Amino acid sequence: MTIRVLLGEDNVLLREGLRGLLTSADDIELVATCADLAGVVEGIAATQPDVVLTDIRMPPSHTDEGVQIAQHCRTRHPHTGVVLLSQFVDPGYVRSLLASGSAGRGYLLKDRVSDLDELLSALRTVAAGGSVVDPLVIEQLVRIGRSRGDANVARLSARELEVLAEMARGHNNASIATTLFITQRAVEKHINSIFAKLGVGIGDQTHPRVRAVLLYLSGSVS
């Protein structure tokens, strides 16, 4: 199945680099490239892409245009996924991106998009309604949590952090088990432990597992 992607990026060099990466994939159709918020919004209406891959900061204000795009799609184009690109981890952006749900949403660091396989995997997952968060985002959010003295974050073991990173990639329990060379039962136990330590509620269906943990780590869940 071909995935129709709209690209939003104001940096010419990065935009052309991403264009080259995307057009090299057989299952990706690049339907438009835009350099500002207005262009992306107009492009979405005109092309109805499956996924918008966009920088968080772009003209006109260079603040949170990517988050605005994600919110716009949530209300006006609910079947369009959004993958945000950022130069760094900002907990506020993570909270805003996931506040209305994690389905069809992704957050990647720009330093990682040169890995074509990672980028394509994220686009495919988000296009299918899943969610993907760069594992480095998890690491930095955990570091922020520890620096602010969050005792619950400090309780997470090294293995639990590995499981959480794989969850953030959008992997299911079977895939996590294969990647980490452990059993699915062990994966389930680690996930249960993560939820218990962070107190986010494993049975709350309104807060999917990755979203719940990320919202906690970004400081919006007590």
pLDDT digits (tens, 9 = 90+) for 165-195: 888 888 889 999 999 999 999 999 999 898 8
Mean pLDDT across the stretch 74-91?
A: 93
* pLDDT number for residue 204: 44
Domain boundaries, the chain: 3-133, 137-217
pLDDT exceeds cutoff 50 at 112: yes
Domain topology for 3-133: Rossmann fold (3.40.50)
Between CA 152 and CA 146 the distance in angstroms is 9
Domain 3-133 identical in fold to domain 137-217: no
Could you identify the residue written with the tokens 């079947």?
79
Largest CA distance in the chain: 49
Strand ranges across the sheet with 51-55: 28-34, 3-8, 51-55, 81-86, 105-109, 131-133
Looking at the chain, the whole-number percentage of residues with pLDDT higher than 70 is 95
Mean pLDDT across the stretch 148-173?
A: 87
pLDDT digits (tens, 9 = 90+) for 11-43: 999 999 999 999 999 999 999 999 999 999 999
Write down the mean pLDDT value for the chain. 89
Question: Of the CATH numbers 3.30.420.40, 1.10.1040.10, 1.10.10.10, 1.10.760.10, which one belongs to the domain with range 137-217?
Answer: 1.10.10.10
Between CA 39 and CA 12 the distance in angstroms is 15
Cα torsion 138, 144, 145, 149 to 10°: value is 160
pLDDT exceeds cutoff 50 at 206: no
Burial class (CB in 10 A: 0-12, 13-18, 19+), 37: buried
Total residues belonging to the chain: 222
Between CA 9 and CA 120 the distance in angstroms is 17
Cβ contacts of residue 78 below 8 Å, gap of 6+? none
pLDDT digits (tens, 9 = 90+) for 41-81: 999 999 999 999 999 999 999 999 999 999 999 999 999 99
- Tell me 110's DSSP state: G
